[in-house]
Structure 1
Amino acid sequence: MAFPWGALLTSTLLFSFPIIHAADDSTDKYNKKGDIRKHRPLFKPTVWKQAHATFYEGGSETFGGACGYGDVVKDGYGLDTTALSSILFKEGQTCGACYEIKCTKSGVGCKAGKSSILVTATNLCPPNYDLPSDNGGWCNPPREHFDLAKPAYLKIAEYKAGIVPIQYRRVPCKKEGGIRFTITGNPYFNLVSVWNVGGSGEITEVLVKGEEKVKNWTNLKRNWGQKWESDEMLVGETLSFRVKASDGRYTTSLRIAPKDWKFGQTFVGKNFP
């Protein structure tokens, strides 16, 4: 059964992205101060931990709710997605992170023969303080809980089970192509959606710079999920972006948005391996 206090199904405004521009062949040799960057190891799987999983109904345009992904299928995440309890969601920082999940006890609804699934965090499972955390309030703090999109849940567990014990771990995100930057807003307020992120999948910092008015790297502020805001006058600027992942690595995409870029367009930058 689906749980009525499942994931937050945030309505998102869908944009048409008619033009996608690719990044230059740029390196990530330097840090924000211009110093030579020390090598950081690639993101590695974490240790296995215990938790529980439920599921929620929805579709490709709602499974990305609280992270701001318009359509998880069109955006390349597929339907193997999950909403996270707030302790894991971290106010949107964990949007885009990838997890390996396996159902651990065959006698309580886990499907036999299915070892694990890989899912991406794209939504929030909000607390329900009207119910105890061990009886309906599954996503109440401090529980680490996964409210899986129904198609993902049914790969590892029986529909009738409702809630099942799981093991989970963070794993590297494998993405095709580069990081996507979609710019919306108006000349006085720019909102940049950052998606299709490889490596840790989890973005902690986004910077932008132009070549005329905004010549220095300028931090964007997290608005919600993986939408980042800037009140700089970016219209008419050739734009470069720099992204920091939760494992401390940076990737820099130089001059990916041409001077005549338009709101609603998507630009492709350099991804993490």
Structure 2
Amino acid sequence: MGFPLSHYCCFLCVIVLLPVLCKCEDTFTYSRATYYGTSDGLGTPTGACGFGEYGRNVNGGNVGAVSRLYRDGTGCGACYQVRCKIPKLCADVGMKVVVTDHGGGDDTDFILSRHGFSMLARPNKAADLFAYGVVGIEYRRVPCQYPGSNIFFKVHENSRFPDYLALVMLYQAGLSDITAVDIWQEDSQAWKGMRKSYGAVWDMANPPKGPVSLRFQVSGRRGQKWVQLMNVIPSHWKAGVAYDSKFQLDY
């Protein structure tokens, strides 16, 4: 009788007693979660990832801050399924949260927006769940999904044309991380790495003139891969504007 590959992986983990070396797709991690308050119950535009307004309302405002999952900003934009562990109060499926901020405390891995925290609850049980303040949870990383949307490169508000360019990627689908971003230098015919400024923000002083061509390194379960996008940002870019890459990740 055949075994599905995911079951075979879990079987091997038990047999060799090395679960830390075996990662099955359906594995949950146990932790704790709490919530923070905003006037509208959504996220905050001043989160440590540098997403701005996107960090407030992406995923319907079901966003949150993480501690160790932040990974010096590499974890920004990642999606997780989170479900709490109080049977009478907690929905079976839980909710999907997008990481937009960094924060921790009280042994929590997630500090959810108030709206996101309410989505953990069964119908009409949110008030009872809020009364706990901190709840036990289990979570796993899941693919981000933005149907009908490409990745956008937003020119961060702190950018100053033409002397300083800072970028942040929005609507990145899939399970992978962005671990490097390069800009094409036409005069030297070479790629030059952007600096990881903070969170999900990459920057460069004195960027090349003309249309901006980028490549970024994608790291995940399939290893590492460079994605190259030519002339993805116009010559006269503007701070605060997000430009459609015409490209999306699916892994």
Alignment partner for residue 242 of structure 1, among 208, 215, 223? 215
1:57 is the counterpart of 2:37: yes
2-side partners of 1:83 and 1:223: how far apart? 19
Structure 2: stretches of 5+ with no match in the other structure: 1-23, 122-128
Structure 1: stretches of 5+ with no match in the other structure: 1-43, 128-136, 140-144
Q: What value does the CA root-mean-square deviation take over the aligned residues?
A: 2.4
- Alpha-carbon spacing, 1:199–1:256, altered in 2? closer, same or farther (3 Å): same
Helix, strand or coil at the partner of 2:69:
helix
| Residue in structure 2 matched with residue 253 of structure 1 by the alignment | 229
- Alpha-carbon spacing, 1:222–1:45, altered in 2? closer, same or farther (3 Å): farther
2-side partners of 1:223 and 1:97: how far apart? 18
Q: TM-score, normalised by structure 1?
A: 0.69
- Whether the 8 Å CA contact 2:43–2:64 is kept in 1: the answer is no
Alignment partner for residue 163 of structure 1, among 100, 122, 134? 134
- Alpha-carbon spacing, 1:74–1:241, altered in 2? closer, same or farther (3 Å): farther
Alignment partner for residue 103 of structure 1, among 72, 81, 84? 84
- Whether the 8 Å CA contact 1:195–1:226 is kept in 2: the answer is no
1-side partners of 2:29 and 2:56: how far apart? 31
Q: TM-score, normalised by structure 2?
A: 0.75
- Whether the 8 Å CA contact 1:72–1:78 is kept in 2: the answer is no
1:21-63 per-residue CA deviation (whole Å, 9 max, x = no partner) reads xxxxxxxxxxxxxxxxxxxxxxx94621111111111255616
CA apart distance, 1:181: 1.0
- Whether the 8 Å CA contact 2:155–2:167 is kept in 1: the answer is yes
1:233 is the counterpart of 2:233: no
1:79 is the counterpart of 2:52: no
1:127-172 per-residue CA deviation (whole Å, 9 max, x = no partner) reads 5xxxxxxxxx335xxxxx1111110111114111111111100111
Alignment partner for residue 268 of structure 1, among 244, 247, 250? 244
Bigger share in helix: 2
1-side partners of 2:56 and 2:37: how far apart? 19
2-side partners of 1:47 and 1:163: how far apart? 22
- How many residues matched? 210
Supply the AA of the counterpart residue of 2:236. D
Helix, strand or coil at the partner of 1:246:
strand
- Alpha-carbon spacing, 1:45–1:215, altered in 2? closer, same or farther (3 Å): farther
1:124 is the counterpart of 2:119: no
